[in-house]
Amino acid sequence: MTPEPDPSCRRHPLVPGVSCLIALLTLALPLTATGESSSGDTAPRKVVFWNLFTSGSSYDVVVELVDRFNRSQSEFVVEQVDVPYSHIIAKILPAVAGGVAPDLTVFDRFQVASYAARNAFQSMDEYARRDGVRGEDFFEAPWQECLYDGRLYAVPYDTDVRLLYYNRELFRQAGLDPDRPPRTWSEMREMSRKLTRRRPDGRLEQIGAVPIWGNTGLYLYCWQKEGRFLADDGRRVTLDDPRNVEALTWIRDYVREYGIEQLLSLQTGFGADSQNPFITGRIAMIVLDVGTLTMLERYGADLDWAAAPAPYADDGVPATWSGGFSLVMPRGSKQPEGAWRFARFILRDESQRFMATSSNKLPALLSAGNDPFFQSSPFWRLAIDQMRFSHYRPVSAVGAALSTEMGVAVDQVIHGKLSPQEALTVATRETQAQLDRFLDKDRGDPVDWSAIYLTLGLVLAAALIWRGVVSGRRIGAMTLHRRQAWAGYLFALPALLGLLIFTVGPIVTTFVYSFTRYEIITPATWEGVDNYVRLFTTDRYFLIALWNTLYFTAISVPVSIAMSLGLAMLLNRPIRGRAIYRALFYLPTVVPLVAGSLLWAWLFNGEYGLINIVLGYLGLPQLPWLTSEHLSKPALVIMGLWNAGGGMIIFLAALQGVPRSLQEAARLDGAGRWASFRHVTLPMISPAMFFMTVMGLIGSLQVFAQAYLMTNGGPVNSTLFYVLHLFREAFQNLHMGTASAMAWVLFLVILTITGVQFVVGKRWVYYEGGVK
């Protein structure tokens, strides 16, 4: 029986046709979704692959591997999406949480455990067992780094190993045997003394070796002393192992011999690639990974160099370590089978040989290491041999935090702030606290977002109804323009909805998050005020960051206002070329902050920076601007004066609004320039001064990019500003709840300071007409 059409369809003769068209499209959608064409052919299923190698031979290798795989079968087609390394780290968790993660991605192997512990990746155990992928077929270090809690969450893409690179020509010049590199720490220290040269003024021109430079970290020296970082069960941090303390003590004594200020000054002259200190001969020995070979082939063709095992402790054991990349399947992968097949294709002997030989990397697969390319080269034979002694960084959910705390400990020790024992004890305590927090399974109740948004919706609806009633009464009382009033509200509605959804919504959400424990892909659970309590009690960086920010603000705001006002007063005078000067001073304000930061990093460079060159010509001492804990913040304040042109424009507008009659009257009354400025000009431009003060304080309290790009919070946390610490908590430690609490504390600080300014401003800000 044919069903009767809906009576509503009889209203317009086109409705039945439209209904039929919608029905046909609805029937066609399942066919489209399954990838079937009208002829019944099955199209290959798309595998989305994120590639972090965006240039060079590594990129070319990935393009070729993708092409080879796509040509080798017809069931799947890999779509390569190039995403830089830092973007993958930042985007992978939001992508998983949003259900738009790739099917497969290249990922830093060291980070696998941290993300797997948070359920960001799928286990590959089932696929590996099915296809016979076994750990004994790979080098131990890269394979073990792919395991977390006994499960396989990644497969190794490649690997590397640390070697000592040394300059044979510099060895000859120092009277050393170029075929006899150092084998132990004491030999390296003795040879370094002979390889070090100083300038007439005592500054370092060339140095033999520095243990804190290169691709080593504290890891290498602790392993060479047989130190440990975690207990066997992975639940106890052992950074303060006595053997680790001995290793850090040796590093401290080594650095003291040359002086940390001297070393940091020399280091500021280092660059990348062609300006690498090993290429330019500024350092004679340095421990780097095997990927350095690409740089040496490209920029060091005339360099007489050789490689050797990394020197080890006199009372220790030979040791080195490996890093590299892996292939992971994010949770929610839409084509896990296709992703695994592509990963399995890359793990084949042929693919591993091609990848390694084409990009100067070590293959993760043992059999690929037998390729003639490696066996015929003394360098690569050494690298493969050193894999016997190679370690891997601790596989832990807090591996990144452990690495960060180790770096902070080294920084504190070499700058003389703490002893090795004290620094590693603090690092152990901080890392253990994060590990305990992660292992704590007694979490609060999950956040019921439906109840929260229902409550907010009811409050918002009540507010809108109340406002609608009030506005309706006002509009009803109108005799004219009633229609225009309603039209005004309708036109403003999109902006109001955008404000509510994209501004008020996120603000309220972060307020809720500040009372929760939230790591992006795990459900938020209630923690009460624990995040706020932790900030003021156990977070050792919070008060440091707050002090640094307030200190920076207290200096930068008055100085920048004074500079802007001074420029405005100079350029408010009738001088020739005034318009050109105004444009030149304003121009820096339109330069992107990133570009400006890189420019000033060069200007402040201790070795070849323009500022130090000028100081040298004037016979003044050259200063370690960005490498001294005492000068780093003042250096950033000086950089801030670069943007004084923006404030200059505001003050110019205010100065041109000062009536000349008042100034003339003051001069007739015998007032000098200073008295006229103080009693006439300053009160008249006080609104502009007030505006600049408020905006300057708000901007300075949120300083971030300069420190992130130029100093990364150093040296010794002297430029660890509040927002930089917030950024690390959110996107490095993944403590979104703590970061949200920090954001609200900063909001309250800014609100309080701004409120005080408005209260105090009533006493000194003069508005025309006497209205304040």
Whether 38 has a pLDDT exceeding 80, the answer reads no
Residues 277 and 174 reside in one and the same domain: yes
Look at residue 639 in the predicted model and tell me its pLDDT: 94
pLDDT digits (tens, 9 = 90+) for 151-191: 999 999 999 999 999 999 999 999 999 999 999 999 999 99
pTM equals 0.85
Look at residue 17 in the predicted model and tell me its pLDDT: 39
Task: State how far the Cα of 650 lies from the Cα of 665, in Å rounded to an integer.
Answer: 25
pLDDT > 70: percent of the chain: 92
Whether 553 has a pLDDT exceeding 70, the answer reads yes
Look at residue 449 in the predicted model and tell me its pLDDT: 86
Residues 219 and 234 reside in one and the same domain: yes
Look at residue 491 in the predicted model and tell me its pLDDT: 85
Look at residue 6 in the predicted model and tell me its pLDDT: 40
Task: State how far the Cα of 27 lies from the Cα of 194, in Å rounded to an integer.
Answer: 81
Report CA torsion sign: 209, 212, 217, 219. Answer: positive
Q: In this structure, is residue 521 part of a structural domain?
A: no
**CATH number for position 409:** 3.40.190.10
User: Domain range for residue 6?
Assistant: 1-40
Q: In this structure, is residue 367 part of a structural domain?
A: no
Q: In this structure, is residue 708 part of a structural domain?
A: yes
Q: Among the listed ranges 317-326, 443-452, 506-515, 556-565, which one has the minimum average pLDDT value?
A: 443-452
Look at residue 376 in the predicted model and tell me its pLDDT: 93
Cβ atoms of 561 and 637 within 8 Å: the answer is no
Domain count, the chain: 5
Whether 36 has a pLDDT exceeding 50, the answer reads no
Nearest by Cα to 101 from 110, 109, 91, 111 = 91
Look at residue 477 in the predicted model and tell me its pLDDT: 66
Residues 313 and 357 reside in one and the same domain: no
Secondary-structure breakdown of the chain: helix, strand, coil percentages, each rounded to the nearest 5: 60, 10, 30
51 falls in which pLDDT band (50, 70, 90)? Answer: very high
Question: What are the two backbone dihedrals, phi and then psi, of residue 78, each rounded to the nearest 5 degrees?
Answer: -85, 125
Residues 154 and 167 reside in one and the same domain: no
Task: State how far the Cα of 327 lies from the Cα of 153, in Å rounded to an integer.
Answer: 9
- Residue with more model confidence, 29 or 704: 704
Nearest by Cα to 702 from 602, 593, 596 = 593
Look at residue 5 in the predicted model and tell me its pLDDT: 40
- Residue with more model confidence, 555 or 439: 555
70 falls in which pLDDT band (50, 70, 90)? Answer: very high
20 falls in which pLDDT band (50, 70, 90)? Answer: very low
Residues 66 and 138 reside in one and the same domain: yes
732 falls in which pLDDT band (50, 70, 90)? Answer: confident
Look at residue 769 in the predicted model and tell me its pLDDT: 60
- Residue with more model confidence, 24 or 223: 223
Residues 507 and 622 reside in one and the same domain: no
Average confidence (pLDDT) over 278-288: 95
- Residue with more model confidence, 440 or 405: 405
441 falls in which pLDDT band (50, 70, 90)? Answer: low
Average confidence (pLDDT) over 314-337: 95
Q: In this structure, is residue 750 part of a structural domain?
A: no
Cβ atoms of 109 and 324 within 8 Å: the answer is yes
Report CA torsion sign: 269, 270, 271, 274. Answer: positive
Residues 553 and 614 reside in one and the same domain: yes
Tokens, residue 637: 């304040």
Whether 16 has a pLDDT exceeding 80, the answer reads no
Look at residue 724 in the predicted model and tell me its pLDDT: 95
pLDDT digits (tens, 9 = 90+) for 361-371: 999 999 999 99
**Which helix H or strand E contains 170, and what residues bound it?**
helix 168-173
- Residue with more model confidence, 267 or 32: 267
Residues 303 and 415 reside in one and the same domain: yes
Task: State how far the Cα of 458 lies from the Cα of 456, in Å rounded to an integer.
Answer: 5
Average confidence (pLDDT) over 116-122: 93
DSSP helix/strand/coil, 367: helix
pLDDT digits (tens, 9 = 90+) for 573-603: 888 888 898 999 999 999 999 999 999 999 9
Residues 300 and 332 reside in one and the same domain: no
Average confidence (pLDDT) over 674-695: 91
pLDDT digits (tens, 9 = 90+) for 81-100: 999 988 898 889 999 988 99
Q: In this structure, is residue 639 part of a structural domain?
A: yes
Residues 244 and 267 reside in one and the same domain: yes
Average confidence (pLDDT) over 72-77: 96
Look at residue 714 in the predicted model and tell me its pLDDT: 86
Whether 475 has a pLDDT exceeding 70, the answer reads no
DSSP helix/strand/coil, 283: strand
Q: In this structure, is residue 529 part of a structural domain?
A: no
Task: State how far the Cα of 219 lies from the Cα of 188, in Å rounded to an integer.
Answer: 18
**Which helix H or strand E contains 112, and what residues bound it?**
helix 112-116
Residues 707 and 619 reside in one and the same domain: yes
Residues 108 and 244 reside in one and the same domain: no
3 falls in which pLDDT band (50, 70, 90)? Answer: very low
Whether 64 has a pLDDT exceeding 50, the answer reads yes
Q: Among the listed ranges 47-51, 270-274, 440-444, which one has the minimum average pLDDT value?
A: 440-444
pLDDT digits (tens, 9 = 90+) for 206-220: 999 999 999 998 999
Q: In this structure, is residue 126 part of a structural domain?
A: yes
Q: Among the listed ranges 31-35, 339-343, 553-557, 559-563, which one has the minimum average pLDDT value?
A: 31-35
Task: State how far the Cα of 398 lies from the Cα of 118, in Å rounded to an integer.
Answer: 11
- Residue with more model confidence, 43 or 157: 157
- Which residues face 80 on adjacent strands? 49
Whether 656 has a pLDDT exceeding 80, the answer reads yes
- Residue with more model confidence, 697 or 660: 697
Which single residue is written with the structure tokens 């109340």?
Answer: 466
Q: In this structure, is residue 532 part of a structural domain?
A: no
Return the DSSP state at 330: B
- Residue with more model confidence, 33 or 248: 248
Average model confidence (pLDDT) for the chain?
A: 89
Tokens, residue 738: 């703590």
Which single residue is written with the structure tokens 């968790």?
Answer: 93
Q: How far apart are the first and last CA of the chain?
A: 81
58 falls in which pLDDT band (50, 70, 90)? Answer: very high
Describe the crossing of helices 686-701 and 540-571 by its angle, rounded to 10 degrees.
150
Whether 629 has a pLDDT exceeding 80, the answer reads yes
478 falls in which pLDDT band (50, 70, 90)? Answer: low
Q: Which of 413, 436, 459 is the last residue of a domain?
A: 436
- Which residues face 328 on adjacent strands? 105
**CATH number for position 583:** 1.10.3720.10
